Amino acid sequence: MNKKNPVVSFFTSREGILAIFVAIFFGVLVATSNLGQDMFSFLKDVSYMIVGGLALMLVVMLGEIDISAGTVLGLIGFFTGNLLKMGVPIPLVILVGMLVGMVNSAIIGFINVKFHVPTMVVSLAMVKLHLGIFPLLPNAGWVSNIPMEISNVGNAKIGVVPVMLFFSLAILVFFMWFMKYTRFGKTIYAVGGSKPSATLAGIKNGKVVFLTFVMSGALLGITSIMYWLPASQVQPSGTNGLEMYFIPIAVVAGVSILGGTGRPIGILISTFLIAMLQRACILWGLGNAWLYLTYGVVVLIAVYSSVTDFAALFGGRKKKDANLEGGAN
């Protein structure tokens, strides 16, 4: 049997066709706006969005949801911003940020596993909890006058490429390996695909769900650091609603809302698409109404394609076979 060319295989896949569209859209946007002059700022947004998209990818892959992913970034920003202001080394601050994110997500995972409360409900409760906490924090959570040498680290770049983007890509590559080659990565697919079948296979569903939420929380901690580090101040409410970027990134990447499918490589492509839609509406003067409308249409198309044998339309393998044979790239 002749082995299919990997390049042809990729560009006839869902992710490959999306990549072609993103490349064309990118060219049009650069040609019709000043995006080329503001490439550093654009790529800086892409950096934290990749990690946030990965965090929500893990949750959605289980067939679950976490709508507290935006507000928790503000809470993490309060703690880490104060530590940075006090002169705590950045590596230690990153660990603290990850810990706060892990605690938040662990609460959601624990309540879901222990009491069988839908994660939508639990995470909504966490959103309200965060919004109630913010005004009670010192200075309503605002952290100002963070030393410039700290923000300079967040704004470090090589040419027009932020150093943070390399960090994000390293995390992405790790998860490409993790989801395809590790036992736990494969159990996430199994539990998301069918919890009863996973149970029959000897997988402890509750443990997988809980640990996956904790892992997602760690990524949200990193996302928060990447979001706030380039700034000289932290305003907790500034991240409200960012989950509405991260969830579409995961869904557009090909992660089924029913769970069990999705590939981390899709996060990279979908992040560029969502970030470009955001910039296009700003640079073309379309406003938020068109931004939200476009997001809605893109997500609906993505949801439809995620439950359709997309590859078969182009003579590729059946979706189930693709997921079983190599769906974790």
d(CA 300, CA 328): 23
> Poorest-confidence range of 1-5, 77-81, 272-276, 320-324?
320-324
Average pLDDT over residues 75-84: 97
Q: Give the pLDDT band of residue 283 (cuts 50, 70, 90).
A: confident
Provide the pLDDT for residue 203.
Answer: 96
d(CA 251, CA 17): 15
180 pLDDT exceeds 90?
yes
Average pLDDT over residues 283-310: 76
Q: Collapsing DSSP states into helix, strand and coil, what is residue 161?
A: strand
Provide the pLDDT for residue 327.
Answer: 47
Provide the pLDDT for residue 87.
Answer: 94
Q: What pLDDT, in 10s, does the model give residues 203-251?
A: 999 999 999 999 999 999 999 999 999 999 999 999 999 998 999 999 9
CA dihedral 329, 108, 99, 41 (to 10 degrees): 60
Average pLDDT over residues 83-104: 97
Provide the pLDDT for residue 325.
Answer: 42
Helices (H), 156-313: 163-181, 183-193, 195-200, 205-228, 243-252, 264-283, 288-306
Q: Give the pLDDT band of residue 254 (cuts 50, 70, 90).
A: confident
182 DSSP assignment: S
Element (H, E) at 158: strand 157-158
Q: In this structure, are residues 134 and 235 in contact, taking their beta carbons and an 8 Å threshold?
A: no
Nearest one of 5, 9, 6 to 314, comparing CA atoms? 9
284 pLDDT exceeds 60?
yes
pLDDT greater at residue 265 or residue 323: 265
Q: Give the pLDDT band of residue 308 (cuts 50, 70, 90).
A: low
Q: In this structure, are residues 234 and 83 in contact, taking their beta carbons and an 8 Å threshold?
A: no
Q: What pLDDT, in 10s, does the model give residues 24-68?
A: 999 999 999 988 888 999 999 999 999 999 999 999 999 999 999
Provide the pLDDT for residue 274.
Answer: 93
| 99 φ, ψ (degrees, to nearest 5) | -65, -45
Provide the pLDDT for residue 2.
Answer: 60
CA dihedral 231, 237, 240, 246 (to 10 degrees): 30
Determine the Cα angle at 48 with ends 274 and 78, to 5°.
Answer: 125
- With 0-12 / 13-18 / 19 or more C-beta atoms within 10 angstroms meaning exposed / middle / buried, residue 129 is middle
Give the DSSP letter string of 97-156.
HHHHHHHHHHHHHHHHHHH---HHHHHHHHHHHHHHHGGGSGGGG-B----HHHHHHHT-
329 pLDDT exceeds 80?
no
Delimit the domains of the chain by residue range: 20-25+35-326
Provide the pLDDT for residue 305.
Answer: 67
CA torsion sign for 204, 218, 261, 186 is negative
193 pLDDT exceeds 70?
yes
- Largest Cα span, the chain: 67
306 pLDDT exceeds 80?
no
Average pLDDT over residues 291-309: 75
Average pLDDT over residues 17-30: 92
Q: In this structure, are residues 213 and 280 in contact, taking their beta carbons and an 8 Å threshold?
A: no
Provide the pLDDT for residue 309.
Answer: 55
| 143 φ, ψ (degrees, to nearest 5) | -125, 115
Average pLDDT, the chain: 90
51 DSSP assignment: H
Average pLDDT over residues 78-84: 97
Question: Could you give the count of Cα atoms lying within 13 Å of 314 in the half-sphere of its Cβ?
Answer: 14
Q: Give the pLDDT band of residue 282 (cuts 50, 70, 90).
A: confident
Q: Collapsing DSSP states into helix, strand and coil, what is residue 5?
A: coil
pLDDT greater at residue 279 or residue 311: 279
Both structure tokens of 306: 């995620």
Element (H, E) at 157: strand 157-158
Residues paired with 158 in a beta bridge: 161
Q: Which CATH architecture has domain 20-25+35-326?
A: Orthogonal Bundle (1.10)
Query: How much is the CA Rg of the chain, to the nearest whole Å?
Result: 20
Q: In this structure, are residues 112 and 64 in contact, taking their beta carbons and an 8 Å threshold?
A: yes
Q: In this structure, are residues 63 and 284 in contact, taking their beta carbons and an 8 Å threshold?
A: no
Average pLDDT over residues 124-146: 96
234 DSSP assignment: B
